[in-house]
Amino acid sequence: MKKELGSLRSWGFLMAGNLLYALALALFLTGNNIAAGGLAGIAVVLCSFLPLGVGILTLVMNIPILASAVVIKGWRYTIGTIVAAFLYSFTVEILDRMMPTLTSEPLVAAIFGGVLYGIGMTLLTVGNVSVGGTDLLCRLLNEKIPSLSVARLSLFIDGGIVVMAMLVFGNVEVGLYAIVTIFVCSTVADRVLLGIGRGSICLVVSGKDAKEIANPLMEKLGRAVTRWDSNGMYTGEERNVLMVAVRPREVFQVKTLLKELDPTAFVVVVPANELIGGHFGGSKIT
């Protein structure tokens, strides 16, 4: 049952991610000749002088990559990506034909296209699904050339696509707008992915009895407190180090309580990208 629910969840994220990718292309990018990397970026360039849509061109270019994945990784690894790639191309093709370009202002298109791309990328990442394309190509190349990281290969390929767009369209600004889209996309994806469980870690160094500080923190905030034994290397005195994980909005409450409990305490507040388990939910690391 859990396996079936996990599969449904992944397909739900795939459908939503595909829809946002397709909307980004149809509403903002294709009509403004913004080739923001990936196979879709190449397709945007090619469809300007070929009588084929972005979706069909993306699928045609995806076929040799998917075939290579079958040879290198096997059917079991690739079958889900093959289905996802066909679904992605179909969605892009249908929406690109049905939806109008919302703006002819390239900068606006680049920003909003990047936002939709970024959210779509986040959904595909959370769902642990792939639609093939240059992402899969980079992983396959990394298998053969381990010295080149996936990130570096992606940079080379996307950079090459942007340069190709500038040469084909004879317009440097087209490439600059594509760079804006890529930047916005990666920024949105990082913010959303790292912000889902974002929190703060408060480290409290105090010479007072640990329970006098920990108990009020636990009672007022409902957060667990962990104690470590330590010695101050400068003074040579024993100290307690208390660690409490909180949401960013709760940091002020921690500082207010500590003013009353131990005004001389040394406090370090460290940002945490994600808090998992305990009172924060998401007890299963995925």
Q: What is the 3-state secondary structure (H, E, C) of 196-213?
A: CCCEEEEEEEECCCHHHH
CA dist., res. 3 & res. 10, Å (int): 11
SS3 string, 115-143, reads: HHHHHHHHHHHHCCCCCCHHHHHHHHHHH
pTM of the predicted protein model: 0.70
What's the average model confidence in pLDDT over 221-231?
85
270 exposure class (CB count in 10 Å sphere: 0-12, 13-18, 19+)? exposed
> Does residue 218 have a pLDDT over 90?
no
What's the average model confidence in pLDDT over 257-282?
81
DSSP 149: -
Which tokens go with 209?
């009895």
Q: How far out from the chain centre does Cα 256 lie?
A: 35
Query: Across the strands, what pairs with 245?
Result: 201
**Radius of gyration for the alpha carbons in the chain, expressed in angstroms and rounded:** 25
CA dist., res. 216 & res. 250, Å (int): 14
CA dist., res. 76 & res. 63, Å (int): 17
CB 67 within 8 A of CB 163: no
What CATH topology corresponds to 199-280? Alpha-Beta Plaits (3.30.70)
CA-based torsion, 154, 159, 160, 164: positive or negative = positive
Order of all β-strands in the sheet with 266-272: 225-231, 238-246, 199-206, 266-272
pLDDT tens column, 88-111: 888 888 888 888 888 889 999 999
Length of the chain: 286
CB 165 within 8 A of CB 35: yes
5-9, 46-50, 262-266: which has the highest mean pLDDT?
A: 262-266
The ranges assigned to domains in the chain are 2-195, 199-280
Q: Quick one: pLDDT band at residue 52, thresholds 50, 70, 90?
A: confident
CA dist., res. 180 & res. 276, Å (int): 33
Give percent of the chain with pLDDT exceeding 70.
93
pLDDT at 136: 81
Residue with the bigger pLDDT between 218 and 144: it is 218
Q: Quick one: pLDDT band at residue 282, thresholds 50, 70, 90?
A: low
pLDDT tens column, 162-179: 888 888 888 898 889 999
What's the average model confidence in pLDDT over 38-49?
86
Which tokens go with 154?
């992606």
Q: Can you state the percent helix, strand and coil of the chain, rounding each to 5? A: 65, 10, 25
Q: Quick one: pLDDT band at residue 5, thresholds 50, 70, 90?
A: very low
Q: Quick one: pLDDT band at residue 217, thresholds 50, 70, 90?
A: confident
